Amino acid sequence: MTETRCADCPLRPLPLFLEHSTDEVDLVQSLKRREVRLEADETLIHEGQTDAPLYTLREGWAFRYKTLSDGRRQILSFLLAGDFIGVQQKMGDAAAHGVDTLTPALFCVFQRDSLWELHRRSPTMGFNITWLTAHEESLVDDTLLSVGRRSAEERIAMLLILLFKRAAALQKNDGANGVPFPLTQQHIADGLGLSLVHTNKTLRKLERRGLHRIADGRLFMRDVKALARLADLFGDGHPPPRPLI
């Protein structure tokens, strides 16, 4: 597999990502070790793993999760292209969560001490890491709010809007023809603390009301404003411009 230079990364020209200086891109390139491609339903990081490097998801979808001893799973967040993975492990001795792929995915792999090198060699890039970590925490906070206080309809409406907006920001047409949506109803249930039956009924109810449509692995928004009102969503759900590591 021919690897792509960081300067030529197809994500960099997208409006979603902040422009970085040549020195910053060269620093990221110096810390990059390889690229790895996984198929759908493969594990990138195992729960409790102690030797995982850092990753940037360049193509595809993945998710972070934790499991209980009996196999019950809570999905913590869904990962899309541009997300930086593995910072949480570097704050402790082992990965507190696992990461699995939802689709075939391509990851850029960085040396294990990249976190410290970025902070040491570039205060700006160090701040970018802090921003990405804080942003990830805010997404988890939103999920906690949904699980704790939102109804099933509100939870699913919130998830559909946020994922649609995030995926649309990675497309040149801003989701005019829908966006990829590889989640099964089980993934939605595991991410929102719902039963599979309740998830199925709620999705069908929202679709009958003309708010969205899921077909052939794609999500189409029919009434974003109505979904936003239902979810009691602060803002329009559009992701803010972000750094790219």
Position 135 scores a pLDDT of 81
65 and 183 together in one domain: no
**Residue 214 included in any domain:** yes
* The pLDDT of residue 119: 85
Domain match, 216 and 128 both: no
CB 160 within 8 A of CB 228: no
Instruction: Write the CATH number for 136.
Output: 2.60.120.10
Q: Is 118 a member of any domain?
A: yes
Q: What is the pLDDT of residue 231?
A: 82
* 31 located within any domain: yes
Give the per-residue pLDDT at 180.
Answer: 95
Best CA proximity match to 108, nearest among 8, 223, 215: 8
Do 19 and 124 belong to one domain? yes
**Signed CA dihedral, 23, 137, 108, 179: sign only:** negative
Residues 67 and 42 in one domain: yes
Residues 25 and 147: their CA atoms lie apart, in Å, by 38
Q: Which of 114, 141, 168 is the last residue of a domain?
A: 141
CATH code of the domain covering residue 183:
1.10.10.10
* Residue 10 structural domain: 6-141
10-residue block means of pLDDT along the chain (245 residues)? Answer: 89 93 94 95 90 92 93 92 82 78 96 83 90 81 74 91 93 85 96 94 94 93 87 73 92
**What is the number of domains present in the chain?**
2
Q: Output the pLDDT for position 49.
A: 86
User: 16 with 56, same domain?
Assistant: yes
242 inside domain: no
Task: Say what the pLDDT of residue 52 is.
Answer: 83
Task: Give yes or no: residues 118 and 227 share one domain.
Answer: no
| Residue 191 domain-assigned (yes or no) | yes
Amino acid (one-letter) located at 49? Q
Name 74's bridge partners.
66
Among 141, 175, 198, the domain-final residue is: 141
The two structure tokens encoding residue 122:
């570039």
Is the domain of 34 the same as that of 95?
yes
1 within domain boundaries:
no
| 240 assigned to some structural domain | no
> Would you say 101 and 66 are in contact if contact means Cβ atoms under 8 Å apart?
no
CB within 8 Å of 185: residues ≥ 6 apart:
196, 199, 200, 203
pLDDT at 237: 64
For 49: left if phi > 0, alpha if psi spans -120 to 50, otherwise beta; the answer is: beta
Of the CA atoms within 13 Å of residue 22, those in its CB half-sphere come to: 0
pLDDT computed for residue 133 by the predictor:
84
Q: What distance lies between CA 198 and its chain's CA centroid?
A: 24
Out of 84, 116, 141, pick the residue that ends a domain.
141
* Residue 15 and residue 136 in one domain: yes
**Same domain, residue pair 164 and 103:** no
pLDDT of residue 93: 65
**Are 132 and 196 found together in one domain?**
no
What is the pLDDT, as a whole number, of residue 105? 98
* Shared-domain flag, residues 86 and 57: yes
Look at residue 236 and tell me if it is in a domain: no
Q: What is the 3-state secondary structure (H, E, C) of the chain?
A: CCCCCHHHCCCCCCCCECCCCHHHHHHHHHHEEEEEEECCCCEEECCCCCCCCEEEEEECCEEEEEECCCCCEEEEEEECCCCEECHHHHCCCCCCCEEEECCCEEEEEECCCHHHHHHHHCHHHHHHHHHHHHHHHHHHHHHHHHHHHCCHHHHHHHHHHHHHHHHHCCCCCCCCCCEECCCCHHHHHHHHCCCHHHHHHHHHHHHHCCCEEEECCEEEECCHHHHHHHHCCCCCCCCCCECCC
Residues 155, 136, single domain; the answer is no
Residue 71: CB atoms within 10 Å: 6
